[in-house]
């Protein structure tokens, strides 16, 4: 079994390609995950799809064949050519895959370094696969360590503090353009998690917020969670609002553009629209006095963010590197435990048989059974102490698998699968 990670992000693809790769809802994700899982090459799989990335984390039986199969499935889903996807994909296996997972969970691979959303998105992706039976012991172990690594990074650095999300970056850009935001209206389209973050940052930046959504009840519920007044308007007024408000930020889950050229009217003032959705909510629009920013256009603020956080990122990467090595050391120790356990079980079985045979032949008395067995067990424990210590020590070396296989073969030990170590982040589905 090998770990395999296939990654498409803002680093290796443009927004047009990410739009085609994006999965709009859990139903689409589950259908795709099932396609992968049903193939004999893939034993476990998790799919992460956000505005800046599509990540597939899997355990596979054959790395080269599995990565080809997975990219073929992505090509079919996205209608993109296989060769283009294969050339663009960042592909990691085993230690590289684990290191990449830990880096993603710790928000070091994000467009905005240190952004706080990614670990929650990763947990949701993991829970979806776990709930449907598409991942188990192997990925659970990796995810458990990834979330611990992310927590260690947050606790040891300041990367998780301040405005560190695509939503906050868009608002920061808007504030930089507008300057004095007092009395300036900002329109937010959508009532999901990204919109909630957007409203939070708009309010703290001094904007007056107008909120619209196709689901006005959901929009009103969202508005009611804030202490400040949010002006909730019906979705039917979108065309008028687009021409009346200088700042607009949209973050819906629509699979197609909801704002098209024909909806846009001219205005006497400059307008700044921020499309932080993938797929994009705003179609290709050209009009005087209108500037549209997509996710990739926020790179200037992102670059500033990265320079300010460079030193913190070095410390965070050190934590990720250490966590990755500890994870594989731990995996090796798990492989040693059942071998050691079976050595003792085999010895106990021999003791039981030999003591019973000695009693049957009259070599020892029945009433001496327990004392003689305890003596034998003491001899066994002392005899196996050195080999056990050596096995646990060698678990950290590359030759561990060969040594364990040799020991199992020499002593005729049976293999044993470790019971699943439940990840605390999967509790939601186990209650």
Active-site residue numbers? Answer: 51
19: its two tokens: 């739009």
Pairing of strands 42-49, 53-60: antiparallel
Instruction: Tell whether the torsion through CA atoms of 303, 309, 315 and 320 is positive or negative.
Output: negative
Bridge partners of 42, per DSSP, are 60
Task: Please name the residues in contact with 333: beta carbons below 8 A apart, sequence gap of 6 or more.
Answer: 392, 395
Which DSSP symbol is given to 161?
Answer: S
Q: For residue 126, give the nearest of 41, 48, 49 by alpha carbon.
A: 48
Asked whether 343 and 388 are in contact (CB, 8 A), the reply is yes
Task: Please name the residues in contact with 35: beta carbons below 8 A apart, sequence gap of 6 or more.
Answer: 73
Which DSSP symbol is given to 230?
Answer: -
Asked whether 105 and 95 are in contact (CB, 8 A), the reply is no
Asked whether 333 and 395 are in contact (CB, 8 A), the reply is yes
**Other residues' Cβ atoms within 10 Å of the Cβ of residue 339:** 21
Q: Is 283 exposed, middle or buried (0-12, 13-18, 19+ CB in 10 A)?
A: middle
Please name the residue ranges forming H helices in 132-233. 137-156, 166-178, 193-204, 216-223
What is the layout of strands, in order, in the sheet containing 231-234?
231-234, 208-213, 185-189, 247-250, 271-275, 290-294
**Distance separating alpha carbons of residues 21 and 16, to the nearest angstrom:** 9
Tell me the CB-side half-sphere exposure of residue 304, using CA atoms within 13 A. Answer: 8
Q: How many distinct helices (H) and strands (E) make up the chain?
A: 16, 10
Task: Please name the residues in contact with 311: beta carbons below 8 A apart, sequence gap of 6 or more.
Answer: none
Asked whether 122 and 404 are in contact (CB, 8 A), the reply is no
**Distance separating alpha carbons of residues 184 and 269, to the nearest angstrom:** 12
């Amino acid at each position: 079994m090998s770990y395999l990670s296939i990654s498409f992000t803002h680093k290796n693809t443009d927004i047009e390609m990410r739009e085609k790769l994006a999965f709009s809802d859990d139903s689409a994700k589950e259908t795709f995950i099932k396609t992968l899982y049903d193939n004999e090459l893939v034993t476990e799989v998790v799919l992460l799809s956000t505005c800046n990335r599509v990540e597939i984390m899997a355990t596979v039986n054959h790395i080269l064949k599995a990565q080809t199969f997975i990219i073929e499935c992505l090509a079919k889903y996205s209608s993109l050519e296989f060769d283009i996807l294969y050339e663009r994909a960042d592909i990691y296996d085993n230690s590289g895959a684990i290191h990449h997972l830990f880096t993603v969970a710790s928000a070091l691979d994000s467009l905005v370094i240190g952004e706080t959303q990614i670990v929650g998105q990763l947990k949701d992706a993991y829970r979806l696969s776990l709930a449907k039976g598409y991942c188990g012991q192997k990925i659970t172990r990796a995810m458990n360590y990834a979330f611990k690594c992310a927590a260690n990074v947050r606790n040891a650095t300041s990367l998780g503090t301040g405005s560190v999300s695509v939503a906050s970056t868009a608002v920061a850009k808007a504030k930089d353009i507008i300057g004095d935001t007092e009395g300036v209206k900002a329109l937010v389209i959508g009532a999901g998690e990204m919109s909630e973050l957007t409203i939070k940052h708009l309010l703290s930046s001094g904007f007056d917020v107008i909120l619209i959504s196709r689901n006005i009840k959901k929009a009103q519920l969202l508005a009611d969670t804030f202490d400040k007044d949010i002006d909730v308007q019906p979705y039917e007024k979108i065309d008028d609002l687009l021409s009346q408000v200088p700042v607009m930020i949209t973050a819906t889950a629509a699979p197609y553009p909801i704002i098209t050229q024909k909806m846009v009217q001219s205005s006497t003032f400059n307008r700044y629209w921020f499309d932080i959705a993938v797929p994009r909510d705003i179609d290709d629009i050209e009009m005087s006095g209108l500037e549209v920013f997509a996710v990739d256009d926020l790179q200037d603020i992102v670059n500033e963010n990265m320079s300010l956080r460079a030193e913190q990122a070095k410390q965070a990467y050190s934590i990720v590197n250490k966590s990755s090595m500890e994870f594989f050391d731990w995996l090796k120790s798990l492989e040693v435990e059942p071998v050691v356990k079976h050595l003792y079980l085999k010895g106990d079985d021999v003791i039981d048989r030999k003591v019973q045979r000695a009693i049957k032949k009259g070599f020892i008395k029945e009433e001496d059974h327990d004392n003689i067995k305890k003596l034998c067990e003491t001899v066994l424990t002392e005899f196996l102490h050195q080999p056990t210590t050596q096995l646990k020590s060698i678990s950290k070396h590359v030759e561990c698998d060969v040594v364990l296989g040799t020991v199992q073969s020499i002593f005729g030990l049976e293999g044993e699968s470790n019971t699943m170590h439940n990840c605390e982040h999967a509790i939601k589905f186990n209650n």
